[in-house]
Structure 1
């Protein structure tokens, strides 16, 4: 108890290993997680990179008891299968015992109960002030000055104007669906500009990633679908309901598949960045004209 334990997750395979994000670990209550470290072991054969990434999670348990860490999920895109795949680790069960030098009176873990010692803040009651007060005329203070009498009503007027503006904006943004719809095109164009910078600087990995984010984000906002519920099937279903023609739907699926495939494909098999950028920008413009 109150000592560090280390949880390691090792992911091995072939692909762009440096871009792997750390898997999310759900800890039991009263456990502190510190900065996660990663180490990469890799080798390159031609255009193919393979190896492993080790994520180390430093954890400190604050109470004794038996605990469980749920299985950790990891998802990746398989270019050969053309789809995402998910892997799960085994659950991790462990027991924390009270140390010999731990002075906690009750070291057994009870869910929802946090044990803390009483702290002596060392703050006493302030003594009565024995200094004679000094008074001054109101005319000599800020509140009695001419500047204050002029600025005070002006401040009230500005406050009323600000309240009116805030209420107008609040009414306009009351319908979150309309707000997301209005911002969809603007957000997609911003991501396309970011992708264009990666294209010009010769960073293909981040370019293909940003193209995918631009399109998925646009569809999430435009169709009012939460990110967790996005999938190709759900998108096509919503586009059918909006009477979107088959050609834009097919173009959408093609661009999504090409951007995802190119992120992990060898350099020689990647889709040309200039072509993919132009197609993605045209797709957004077409959908903006159709989804109004």
Structure 2
């Protein structure tokens, strides 16, 4: 065959000037958190009626083009009686392509602590639009939520409990020593009750989190295989760049969902470390490294990457299949 020799060559590109403007300080909304571009904003609650035993999902979806990676969650308050937890952040930007369009979603878990009718006030998202050179704000509609009492003490038991408290108060008024002991007794009972509530809430949250992880993993498998079907089309058509771009999206998004690593923190090192912790076969871990390296190489040397397309496709399918089987 033909022999070749690698010769290092140093070249330099022409300097590139970038003019970065600051966003104007005049007329800046108090709700502005750094978003620049053109966006749509939507707020959704998965249930409008529930009980105090239920957990809710509040989704804030930002879609459009701009600095999606840098956008922070809009600030909002909830009425007393609704508790929120730190959001799960999902976005469509992998950082491996030049695309700046996509979405970013902040998903909050809400827990109602008391029955009643609640209104989640309109939530405002503000951004600077370079096309109009103006700040623009989008305000969601208010959301009304009806909460009923869950599996707690029924009314008749509450009445008996109230009578029992009144009976104890009458005894305490006559016997100061008993009142002192009674206070300590109820303090201990309060601490025990508080401990039980914390444990039950923790158990409920863990079940909800586990169910969400299972749903996310199932979704990640379907999405990855769907992308690989698209990659198969590009493979058959010998479209090198589109093939590797689709494989890159498939493997990175699959690893992010399966290993529960936020896309902002996802790297080759972080993914390999978590895969090793799962005690997967070394061959699979090596395949992950090879696929990621091949996708990166295709950006700079597509002619060299062309002959690896079939192997890259097979390795990626093997990775997804093996990891899915290891979950069973």
| Interval containing the TM-score (normalised by the shorter chain) | 0.3 to 0.5
Query: Who wins on radius of gyration, i.e. which is larger?
Result: 1
TM-score by length of 1: 0.41
